[in-house]
Amino acid sequence: GNSVTQMEGPVTLSEEAFLTINCTYTATGYPSLFWYVQYPGEGLQLLLKATKADDKGSNKGFEATYRKETTSFHLEKGSVQVSDSAVYFCALSAIYNFNKFYFGSGTKLNVKP
Amino acid sequence: EAQVTQNPRYLITVTGKKLTVTCSQNMNHEYMSWYRQDPGLGLRQIYYSMNVEVTDKGDVPEGYKVSRKEKRNFPLILESPSPNQTSLYFCASSYAKGTGELFFGEGSRLTVL
């Protein structure tokens, strides 16, 4: 079946630190992969996506590379800001049914000044 | 402004009292879906709809009903709520199959006593 596993949180960093949030997936075939972000009190927003192996998604300084060989899609940012504090969700959409999405459990990021 | 609107945002009810959570989008999206968010479990898909009068089950449909009589609206119905349906619910919509950019509402926090 399809599933997404992400690292447990919370992750607490100081401003300007390097961020990595690990995400691995299990899927049939080659799904599309996404990172969504949820700021406090809000719904989720798409942060970035990748639709095929070796694609790199990027947005707002965040990056993630679709690694087929390791079934991973780790989120990285070189220098986090306090405003990046949020919950981050890794997700996939199944290749046979793009309208079925599978989300990880979410990783809360706290960035301290 | 493009948005997905859910109501109510907060609701406390009792076991067995039917309730409806409404969802409306103003982006003319074909695809709409409902998720529940529970601690440690991330988001799980309840139902989705590809277009008017076309709905299908997600991963956790038990205890829920939906309807799609108009393109803009996708209400979630709990005929006989139970305490295990206490959760944070999100409605989402999308332009097209496979794009991955879901637009989320702000969420509806439901407590069933």
Q: What is the pLDDT of residues B45-65, one digit of tens each?
A: 999 998 899 999 988 999 999
Q: Which two tokens stand for residue B10?
A: 């907060």
pLDDT at residue number B107: 94
Contacts A32 to B, Cβ<8 Å: 98, 100
Please name the residue of chain A whose CA is at the shortest distance from the CA of residue B96.
A99
At residue A84 the predicted structure's pLDDT band, cuts being 50, 70 and 90, is very high
For residue B98, pLDDT over 60 is answered with no
Summarised one tens digit per residue, pLDDT across range A12-61 is 999 999 999 999 999 987 888 999 999 988 889 999 999 889 999 999 99
Q: Are B91 and B6 in contact (CB under 8 A)?
A: yes
Q: B88 forms bridges with which residues in the sheet? A: B37, B109
Q: Which two tokens stand for residue A87?
A: 């919950």
Q: Are A43 and B107 in contact (CB under 8 A)?
A: yes
With pLDDT > 90 as the criterion, what percentage of chain B qualifies?
Answer: 81
Cβ <8 Å between B48 and A99: yes
Q: Which two tokens stand for residue A89?
A: 């969700």
For residue A112, pLDDT over 80 is answered with yes
Cβ <8 Å between A49 and B101: yes
A:28-87 residues touching chain B, CB 8 A cutoff: 32, 34, 36, 41-46, 49, 51
pLDDT at residue number A42: 86
pLDDT at residue number A101: 84
Mutation to test the B interface, candidates A33, A99, A100, most B Cβ within 10 Å? A99
At residue A96 the predicted structure's pLDDT band, cuts being 50, 70 and 90, is low
At residue A98 the predicted structure's pLDDT band, cuts being 50, 70 and 90, is low
Q: What's the rounded Cα separation, in Å, for the pair B54 and B15?
A: 29
Q: What's the rounded Cα separation, in Å, for the pair A75 and A67?
A: 12
Mean pLDDT of chain A: 92
| Out of B42, B45, B97, closest to residue A89 by CB | B42
Instruction: Compute φ and ψ for B8, nearest 5 degrees.
Output: -80, 165
pLDDT at residue number A1: 82
For residue B6, pLDDT over 90 is answered with yes
Q: What is the average per-residue pLDDT within A60-88?
A: 96
Cβ <8 Å between B98 and A32: yes
At residue B2 the predicted structure's pLDDT band, cuts being 50, 70 and 90, is confident
Please name the residue of chain A whose CA is at the shortest distance from the CA of residue B95.
A99
pLDDT at residue number B1: 82
Cα-Cα-Cα-Cα dihedral sign, residues B92, B93, B99, B101: negative
CB contact set of A64 (below 8 Å; sequence gap of 6+): A23, A33, A35, A48, A50, A56, A57, A58, A73, A74, A75, A76
Residue with the larger pLDDT of the pair A43 and A77: A77
Alpha-carbon A46 to chain mean position: 10
pLDDT at residue number A100: 76
CB contact set of A97 (below 8 Å; sequence gap of 6+): none
Cβ <8 Å between A49 and B98: no
Cβ <8 Å between B107 and A49: no
